[in-house]
Amino acid sequence: MANLEKGSSKLLNAWAFYDWANSVYALVISSTIFPLYYGALFRQKEIDEILILGFSVRSEALISYVTALGFLIIAFISPLLSGIADYLGNKNFFLKLFCYVGALSCMSLYFFSLDTVVLSLVSYLLALIGFWGSLVFYNSYLPDIAHKEQQDKISAKGFSLGYIGSVVLLLICLTMVMSVDDSQKLQMMRYSFLLVGIWWMGFSQYTYYHLPDNKSENKFHKNIFFNGFKELRKVWKQIKELKALRRYLGAFFVYSMAVQTIMIIAAYFGEKEVQWGDDSKRTMGLIVSILLIQLIAVFGAWLTSKASAKFGNIKVLIAINFFWVLICTFAYFVITPQDFYITAAFVGLVMGGIQSLSRSTYSKFIPADATDTTSFFSFYDVAEKVGIVIGMLTYGYIADITGKIQNAILFLILFFVVGLLLLLRVPKNE
């Protein structure tokens, strides 16, 4: 393990490189190949609903409920583990643990089948937990490895590397899928799941080698098991005394519900609601749309970083939320592939920016003398995950009872409007 000084370019680049490693899950599993594979399994059996634990559930609602369960689990366990990591100083260990669980679970999606749907959904659930669980500890490294004036730039660089790296693997997967006839496409998709796990585990080794471990001399004992919740309570007491941070976190909680829900359901929306014509056009069209989002998001993250330096983080976040309202309004009427491409382009422009700027803005609001940065970021992540649970349950319930995903978009618009209004309350001088 290397021993690099805080703020050094090599350390910063090694931290950002984990985005290159893990973002293939977000793109290939969460956003493109798996949603296509999942939808194809239902079309192959010519069904829209499936019986789960005695209940008949629509395909799009089922995946949203399982996703919500995954984020609920993350919201509960991350404080437990972050408390242990803070006390023992071994956040590197937990970063690796969640990475390996997620990567291996991605590989096990090779066996995903509606005939064993419950067991298959467990693999999907564990992959999600692995990805998002690792981000708790990855994000918490930011104030440890970068000075405040470096955080916006390196946060944006991480997202940019993630978009580029995931696009590289997606292009490989796309080549595999489109190079065979329709009878073999599902098999190629299964191979894509294996590639995601290998990519994620392999490239993350560079990050692990350079990140500091900072192990303490403290020994594990049962009293530290709930340290994370105690730390969250302590962090909340601090946040209540920090007006700007408290108001920002409230705004983030609301608009993040919509942002993360859109990122998760966009591919399922495109796969199910857009009139592609046939399966080959659906596969190509959806992957092209997601590629468009990813490539434009690289530019969007860079543009947002520049704008925040000139106008300030909060003003830029207000503008981005307003832009999201316009995008969702347009998306409500999306039917044709052309409409979906236009929406994808504008989503890409603001998606990377709002993620990277939200993370670095929160980091800046953390007191300079804070030593428990993992706990602060654990609080941030818990707020985000609980928001996603609410967003996904809302989406799934509305899609299930109305049979139309567009109806759920109306609630996402409401989340952005409320988030925008709450951002206006964050003190401008801070």
Q: Per-residue DSSP letters for 223-281?
A: GGTTHHHHHHHHHHHHHHH-HHHHHHHHHHHHHHHHHHHHHHHHHHHHHHHS--SSHHH
Q: Which two tokens stand for residue 90?
A: 């071994």
Max mean pLDDT range (162-171, 176-185, 188-197): 188-197
Q: What percent of the chain has pLDDT over 70?
A: 93
Q: What is the reported pLDDT for 59?
A: 85
pLDDT tens, position by position, 134-176:
987 887 788 788 887 788 788 878 878 887 899 899 989 989 9
Identify the band that residue 47 occupies on the pLDDT scale cut at 50, 70 and 90. confident
Max mean pLDDT range (38-47, 198-207, 232-241, 265-274): 198-207
CA distance 404 to 292: 25
The pLDDT of 302-323, averaged and rounded, is 89
3-state secondary structure labels for all residues of 42-94: HHHHCCCEEEECCEEEEHHHHHHHHHHHHHHHHHHHHHHHHHHHHHHCCHHHH
How far CA 254 is from CA of 14, 94, 363, 394, in Å, comes to: 32, 28, 18, 13
pLDDT tens, position by position, 4-22:
788 788 999 999 999 999 9
Compute the radius of gyration of the chain from its Cα atoms.
21
Inter-residue contact 304 to 316 (CB < 8 Å): yes
| Amino acid at position 24, single letter | V
Q: What is the mean pLDDT of the chain?
A: 86
Q: What is the reported pLDDT for 263?
A: 83
| Number of Cβ within a 10 Å radius of residue 306 | 13
CA distance 417 to 112: 38
pLDDT above 90 for 421: yes
Q: What is the reported pLDDT for 172?
A: 94
| Number of Cβ within a 10 Å radius of residue 241 | 9
CA distance 40 to 282: 10
Inter-residue contact 283 to 192 (CB < 8 Å): no
pLDDT tens, position by position, 202-220:
999 999 988 887 665 666 5
pLDDT above 70 for 429: no
pLDDT tens, position by position, 243-269:
888 899 899 989 998 888 888 888 888
Q: What is the reported pLDDT for 173?
A: 92
Q: What is the reported pLDDT for 222?
A: 63
Q: Choose among 361, 349, 360, 266: nearest CA to 314.
A: 361
pLDDT tens, position by position, 64-120:
899 999 999 988 887 777 667 666 667 788 899 999 999 999 999 999 999 999 999
pLDDT tens, position by position, 371-416:
667 678 778 878 888 888 998 888 888 878 887 777 888 888 999 9
Helix (H, G, I), strand (E, B) or coil at 179: coil
Q: What is the reported pLDDT for 86?
A: 66
Q: Who contacts 63 (Cβ-Cβ below 8 Å, separation ≥6)?
A: 38, 124, 268
The pLDDT of 334-338, averaged and rounded, is 91
The pLDDT of 44-62, averaged and rounded, is 85
| Number of Cβ within a 10 Å radius of residue 284 | 15
Through-space distance between the first and last CA atoms of the chain, rounded to whole angstroms: 38
pLDDT above 90 for 122: yes
> Strands 55-58 and 49-52: what pairing?
antiparallel
Q: What is the reported pLDDT for 372?
A: 66
Q: Who contacts 340 (Cβ-Cβ below 8 Å, separation ≥6)?
A: 270, 274, 285, 289, 334
pTM for this structure? 0.80
